[in-house]
């Protein structure tokens, strides 16, 4: 279906040549002009056909109107781009959906998701949602939640129906009379729009764990193929996950039957949390005089999967090769012997950290601080997590992130623009005591029967992959103290247990908080780290480097760790040791990413040649006094391209928004009070082009205040 916007005659004449190019030469689906889905269109182009705002006049861009959604959630911004229905701007916030007048920003209606009478899950408010859909044929909106998909009337905001019992965070898809929903853990489900009944359900459960669809879902109307990308589940521990499975994969499904047509796995047995992510992008490419319908999937590793829509085979010859990788030394962990190393298209980033040169910018004090943190570290091509060493890498937050990339059709060949992160992380695997785990489970199960105040609670660890807090109360430690062989030393209880726990479980901060770490001590005397923990001078020096006095004497230190050695061997002999893992941001003493900047970038890749056209730092890192300390900062917002050759970008912690020209040169910027949190969009209404930014803040340690602002821009001369 083609859609056209009515412009004034003078505007049309002025831009006549551009209109001819768009109408007759552009391969993009013109339905994207109305931005009916948060990804722009079903093919996820994030590309606007609007050309009124261009490089020559962007200096005249001004704020048209602002809107506040009415809800601010601490450390959780809106991750869904708005949509435009032709006469309404739809804002898809976490707790509500708002319809605005696209010219004035006046509120037409607002629907409160919490008003659903039969809502069984109060956490619906805090479910991250990354998209909303408008169906023009029925004038209805569709918005996924963790308890079902809402169907609303676009004119009144009235709730019409709930497609229940499906947990999703992504915008659904409509084709013919079916509604397609990508569930987080259930695979893809098709509903009949008339009967509201399920038509088919395709699960991605294989190998004991599901392929989790949390970031990307697209559709190709030409081939009638649905595309979903999956991440890994189980965190950095893969024991129990059988191979083959459907994790970290791009999966193609027949829209009529739900049959899986093909699946391409990026990483085999992923224990690094290096998901594929972003909506798959569908685009036609002409290579050696042959037009190939192609689908793109992006990765945290910086790889670009460019595959044939019909076959799932790489579009380019010799796109990747298999490279042998190290085995895991964690008992029971069986990793793949080979992983794919991609060459074409050229990766926009990598995961390997140079443990010498990537830290050479630090001054002596800061370098010593970081070297203490990575004292047991290795880095390289798919170095696995280990009990005996830590793994340092780029990629836990990208490479690419959930907002993906955008197509540029103004280049000679279709190109891809990708914002990416390049901040360092450290993965730590460690032993756990099965006795303490059983006690924790007992306390959590019967917690309501114990009288405990908040002051009784001790520090808690996080399980990063599902962001769920495991809270261990004082009672667990008290019960643990009665178990034979547990630490009874008074010095340890007085000076060490407050950080490491009586059960030696340790403590670490989740990435939303920072990098604080009190290492787990369970099993510390069994592996290659034994020489370090038994060395009094090294342990004392480590404590002092982070300003923690080490009040244990040298003799007492030896006694404590000799006792730990005895207890660890007891646990090992009686099969009472298990293992877990977690990841943390790797920061320097100033709480900046520890490796050299830039810590974020913007890259443009020619999809036909497979080569990077340009690569630039994206954003600026600023200190508390707003002084610029680095070019290129982390990004969690996204981008949009326009037919006038512009790239609008947002998402750095400092709140700046940008426009770049086709050559990657920054040509415009403005400052919003909160960080961008979703890709920008553009629409045209009554002769004016508008650009919309979602400015609501972020959820990680370096993002400051959160808000609820939607900020819209237009040219000063356009009224």
Identify the pLDDT of residue 27.
Answer: 38
The 3 state secondary structure assigned to 234-294 is: CCCCCCCCCCCCCCCEEEEEECCCCCEEEEEECCCCCCCCCCEEEEEEEEEEEECCEEEEE
Return the beta strands (E) in 125-211 as ranges: 132-135, 140-144, 148-153, 159-164, 173-175, 178-183, 187-192, 198-202, 205-206, 209-210
44-69 residue pLDDT tens? 999 999 999 999 999 999 999 999 99
Residue recorded with tokens 């009337």: 153
**Angle at Cα 662 formed by Cα 659 and Cα 667, nearest 5°?**
35
Residue recorded with tokens 């919003």: 672
Phi, psi of 631 (to 5 degrees): -90, 130
Cα separation values, 336 from 238, 325, 713, Å? 11, 8, 50
Identify the pLDDT of residue 473.
Answer: 57
Cis ω before 598 (30° cut-off from 0): yes
Coil, helix or strand for 391?
strand
Region of 658 please: left (phi>0), alpha (psi -120 to 50) or beta. beta
Identify the pLDDT of residue 232.
Answer: 87
Identify the pLDDT of residue 18.
Answer: 41
The pTM for the full model equals 0.91
Q: Is 353 exposed, middle or buried (0-12, 13-18, 19+ CB in 10 A)?
A: buried
Sequence-distant (6+) residues with CB within 8 A of 648 are 639, 640, 641, 642, 657, 658, 659, 680, 682, 691, 693
Instruction: Please choose, from the candidates 664, 712, 719, 662, the residue with its C-alpha nearest in 3D space to the C-alpha of residue 692.
Output: 712
Identify the pLDDT of residue 337.
Answer: 96
Q: Could you say which DSSP state residue 40 is in? A: B
Q: Is 324 exposed, middle or buried (0-12, 13-18, 19+ CB in 10 A)?
A: exposed
The 3 state secondary structure assigned to 198-226 is: EEEEECCEECCEECEEEEEEEEECCCCEE
Taking the C-alpha atoms of 280, 2, 190 and 145 in order, what is their torsion angle to the nearest 10 degrees? Answer: 70
111-170 residue pLDDT tens? 999 776 544 444 444 568 999 999 999 999 999 998 899 999 999 999 999 999 899 999
List, for the chain, all residue ranges whose pLDDT scores fall below the cut of 70.
1-33, 116-127, 234, 447-473, 485
* 701 within 8 A of 591, measured Cβ to Cβ: yes
* 418 within 8 A of 400, measured Cβ to Cβ: yes
* 162 within 8 A of 148, measured Cβ to Cβ: yes
Polymer length in residues for the chain: 719
């Amino acid at each position: 279906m083609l859609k056209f916007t009515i412009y004034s005659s003078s505007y049309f004449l002025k831009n006549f040549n551009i209109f001819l190019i768009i109408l007759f030469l552009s391969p993009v689906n013109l339905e994207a002009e109305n931005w009916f889905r948060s990804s722009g269109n079903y093919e996820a182009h994030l590309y606007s056909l609007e050309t009124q705002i261009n490089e020559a006049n962007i200096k005249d861009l001004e704020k048209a109107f602002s809107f506040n959604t009415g809800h601010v959630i601490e450390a959780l911004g809106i991750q869904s781009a708005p949509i435009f229905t032709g006469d309404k701007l739809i804002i898809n916030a976490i707790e509500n959906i708002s319809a605005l007048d696209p010219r004035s920003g006046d509120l037409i209606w607002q629907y409160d998701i919490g008003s659903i009478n039969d809502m069984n899950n109060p956490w619906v408010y805090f479910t991250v949602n990354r998209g909303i859909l408008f169906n023009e044929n029925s004038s209805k909106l569709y918005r996924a939640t963790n308890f079902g998909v809402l169907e609303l009337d676009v004119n009144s905001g009235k709730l019409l129906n709930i497609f229940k019992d499906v947990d999703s965070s992504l915008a659904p898809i409509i084709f013919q009379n079916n509604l397609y929903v990508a569930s987080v853990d259930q695979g893809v489900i098709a509903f009949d729009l008339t009967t509201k009944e399920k038509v088919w359900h395709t699960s991605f459960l294989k190998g004991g764990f599901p392929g989790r669809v949390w970031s990307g879902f697209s559709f190709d109307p030409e081939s009638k193929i649905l595309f979903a990308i999956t991440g890994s589940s189980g965190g950095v521990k893969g024991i129990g996950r059988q191979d083959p499975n459907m994790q970290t994969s791009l999966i193609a499904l027949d829209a009529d039957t739900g049959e899986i047509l093909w699946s391409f796995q990026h990483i085999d047995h992923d224990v690094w949390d290096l998901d594929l992510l972003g909506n798959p992008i569908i685009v036609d490419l002409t290579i050696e005089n042959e037009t190939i319908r192609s689908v793109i999937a992006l990765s945290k590793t910086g790889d670009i999967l460019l595959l044939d829509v019909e076959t799932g085979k790489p579009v380019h010859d010799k796109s990747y090769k298999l490279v042998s990788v190290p085995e895991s030394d964690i008992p029971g962990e069986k990793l793949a012997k080979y992983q794919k190393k991609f060459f074409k298209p050229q990766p926009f980033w990598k995961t390997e950290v140079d443990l010498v040169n990537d830290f050479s910018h630090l001054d002596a004090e800061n370098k010593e601080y970081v070297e203490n943190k990575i004292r047991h570290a290795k880095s390289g091509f798919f170095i696995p997590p280990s009990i005996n060493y830590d793994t340092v890498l780029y990629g836990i937050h990208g490479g690419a992130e959930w907002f993906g990339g955008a197509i540029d059709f103004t280049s000679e060949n279709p190109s891809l623009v990708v914002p990416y992160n390049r901040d360092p992380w450290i993965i730590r695997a460690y032993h756990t005591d099965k006795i303490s785990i059983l006690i924790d489970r007992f306390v959590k199960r019967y917690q309501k029967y114990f009288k405990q105040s908040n002051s009784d609670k001790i520090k808690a660890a996080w399980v990063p992959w599902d962001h769920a807090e495991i809270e261990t109360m004082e009672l667990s430690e008290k019960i643990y103290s009665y178990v034979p062989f547990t630490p009874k030393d008074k010095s340890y209880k007085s000076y060490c247990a407050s950080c490491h726990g009586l059960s030696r479980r340790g403590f670490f901060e989740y990435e939303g908080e920072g990098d604080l770490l009190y290492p787990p001590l369970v099993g510390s005397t069994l592996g290659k780290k034994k020489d370090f923990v038994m060395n009094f001078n090294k342990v004392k020096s480590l404590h002092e480097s982070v300003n923690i006095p080490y009040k244990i004497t040298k003799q007492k230190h030896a006694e404590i760790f000799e006792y730990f050695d005895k207890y660890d061997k007891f646990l090992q002999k009686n099969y009472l040791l298990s293992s877990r893992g977690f990841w943390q941001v790797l920061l320097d003493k100033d709480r900046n990413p520890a490796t050299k900047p830039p810590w974020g970038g913007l890259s443009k890749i020619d999809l036909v040649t497979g080569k990077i056209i340009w690569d630039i730092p994206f954003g600026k890192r600023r200190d508390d006094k707003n002084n610029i300390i680095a070019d290129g900062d982390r990004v969690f917002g996204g981008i949009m391209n326009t037919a006038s050759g512009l790239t609008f970008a947002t998402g750095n912690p400092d709140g700046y928004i940008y426009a770049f020209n086709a050559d990657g040169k920054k040509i415009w910027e403005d400052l919003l009070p909160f960080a961008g949190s979703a890709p920008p969009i553009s629409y045209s209404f009554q002769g004016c082009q508008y650009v919309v930014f979602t400015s609501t803040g972020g959820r990680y340690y370096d993002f400051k205040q959160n808000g609820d602002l939607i900020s819209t821009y237009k040219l000063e001369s356009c009224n």
